[in-house]
Amino acid sequence: MTTTDSRAATGAQTVFPTGFRWGVATAGHQVEGDNVNSDVWFLEHLEGTIFAEPSGDAIDHYHRFADDIALIADLGFDTYRFSLEWARIEPEPGRFSSAAIEHYRRMMLACEANGVTPAVTFHHFVSPRWLLAAGGWEDAGTPDRFARYCDVVTERLGEHLGAAFTLNEPNLPFLLSAMGVVDGSPEARAHAPMWVAAGKALGIDPRRVAPFQFTASQEGYATKLAAHHAGRDAIKAHRPDLLVGWTLANSDIQAAPGGEGRADAVREAVNERFLLDTRGDDVVGIQTYGRTVFDADGLAPAPEDAVVNTMGEEIYPRGIETTVREAWRIAQVPVWVTENGLATDDDTQRVAYFDAAVSAVAECLADGIDVRGYTAWSAFDNFEWVFGYRPHFGLIEVERATQQRTPKPSAYRLGEIARTNGAALQG
């Protein structure tokens, strides 16, 4: 049954247009396992690491992708956003692995066989270890290195791409720095144990250890922006018709009394600056999980009566409406919700969260905003970076001892919304 047919069968009304993409997302390092040539694997195993645990086998998506993609399709989703692992494809500078490229071709073919569009992220936080040794995301040579990688991949796999995103959340370290969670400056790395250990292992000054996910310097900003432009141009050279952009971690930034100036400054540095840089792209991916509130003292705690997720953060699904409207107003390009979700062990909370968030996106569409898709984070419970495996964002539970997959009620609920192109929200 086509989307149009299913909408007619329900008799319900929806503002979601024909062709609206409904999907789930993953990142390669978080699900594939054994990404041993990567900078993140390297950091996970250092003395003094800030990672709660190593990624290890993850959920073995590298070998189980065919069944996983079939399950995603069976649940009702027509789009799968996943990332390529640069460290697998180019394990040494200028040496590209045909085996790794063919692996990702098989993933895209599995998507096509199941009627699923592959929306591919070329860089989702993780780089080859050799790039880190060369100065990472503060080195002037990184944009050209990234463009070379994008060029080779698109030349080999471009015919299978349904959409392309160059970089995932280049602005996240700036948000985390503003929140006081991490200090992304080179000076902060000089004495911190993990960075000192990394510099020693790589044979470089720890201030030059600049991984994508933790770099919030002016040099990092300039490098990421140049890499995005160079990567975008390399992809478009092979596929000028392809929808290409990047994805941004844009929280709904709000002010409590006394925090107006701070909130305005963070919003400009984290959201608005990167949205202005998006002008000229085909699309911008917006990734929002809630709101970030600043008061006179800095980051404000969650309200006393707030319901919180397993990370202690307020559950606030309406944040996506603010950030989509902000993106449309400033970037002036179509918007795609490329991540949105909730870390919780109570799946009834996740069901309610998705209902509220998707309804908020519908309101944006009703007001004439060009939103191309809604992609939930995450398809599976997986490795959540420095937090390890404790947070559960997945629509599909994974028992890691056996790697058994079990869809949660939220998977069926959001899948029903997807199959009916939003009409199920009316029932």
Please pick, among 32, 85, 90, 169, the residue that the annotation labels catalytic.
169
Compute the distance between CA of residue 228 and CA of residue 237 in angstroms, rounded to an integer. Answer: 14
Strands (E), 183-290: 244-249, 252-255, 283-287
Q: Examine residue 325 and state whether it is found in any structural domain, yes or no.
A: yes
245 bridge partner residues: 165, 283
Task: Please say whether the beta carbons of 405 and 398 come within 8 A.
Answer: yes
Q: Examine residue 275 and state whether it is found in any structural domain, yes or no.
A: yes
* Helix count and strand count (H, E) for the chain: 17, 13
Task: Please say whether the beta carbons of 223 and 260 come within 8 A.
Answer: no
Task: Please say whether the beta carbons of 360 and 318 come within 8 A.
Answer: yes
Quote the tokens at residue 43.
């950091």
Q: What's the confidence (pLDDT) of residue 2?
A: 35
Task: Please say whether the beta carbons of 171 and 270 come within 8 A.
Answer: yes
pTM listed for this prediction: 0.96
What count of Cα atoms within 13 Å lies in the side-chain half-sphere of residue 380? 31
Q: Examine residue 317 and state whether it is found in any structural domain, yes or no.
A: yes
Q: Examine residue 1 and state whether it is found in any structural domain, yes or no.
A: no
Q: What's the confidence (pLDDT) of residue 1?
A: 31
Tell me the backbone φ, ψ of residue 307, rounded to 5 degrees: -85, 130
Quote the tokens at residue 248.
């941004």
Q: Examine residue 363 and state whether it is found in any structural domain, yes or no.
A: yes
Q: What's the confidence (pLDDT) of residue 211?
A: 98
Domain count of the chain? 1
Question: Residue 145: in which H helix or E strand, if any?
Answer: helix 142-157
DSSP tag of 380: B
Q: Examine residue 378 and state whether it is found in any structural domain, yes or no.
A: yes
Q: Examine residue 11 and state whether it is found in any structural domain, yes or no.
A: no
The string of DSSP letters for 105-141 reads HHHHHHHHHTT-EEEEEEESS--BHHHHHTTGGG-TT
Q: What's the confidence (pLDDT) of residue 13?
A: 54
The list of the chain residues with pLDDT below 50 reads: 1-12
Q: What's the confidence (pLDDT) of residue 208?
A: 97
Q: What domain range includes position 248?
A: 17-417
Q: Examine residue 353 and state whether it is found in any structural domain, yes or no.
A: yes
Q: What's the confidence (pLDDT) of residue 182?
A: 85
Compute the distance between CA of residue 422 and CA of residue 15 in angstroms, rounded to an integer. Answer: 8
The residue type found at 297 is D
CATH code at 135? 3.20.20.80
Q: Is 169 a catalytic residue?
A: yes
Q: What's the confidence (pLDDT) of residue 234?
A: 98
Quote the tokens at residue 87.
């460290």
Is the previous residue joined to 177 through a cis bond, with omega within 30 degrees of 0?
A: no
Which of 383, 382, 386, 388 has its CA nearest to residue 50? 386
CB count in 10 Å sphere of residue 208: 19
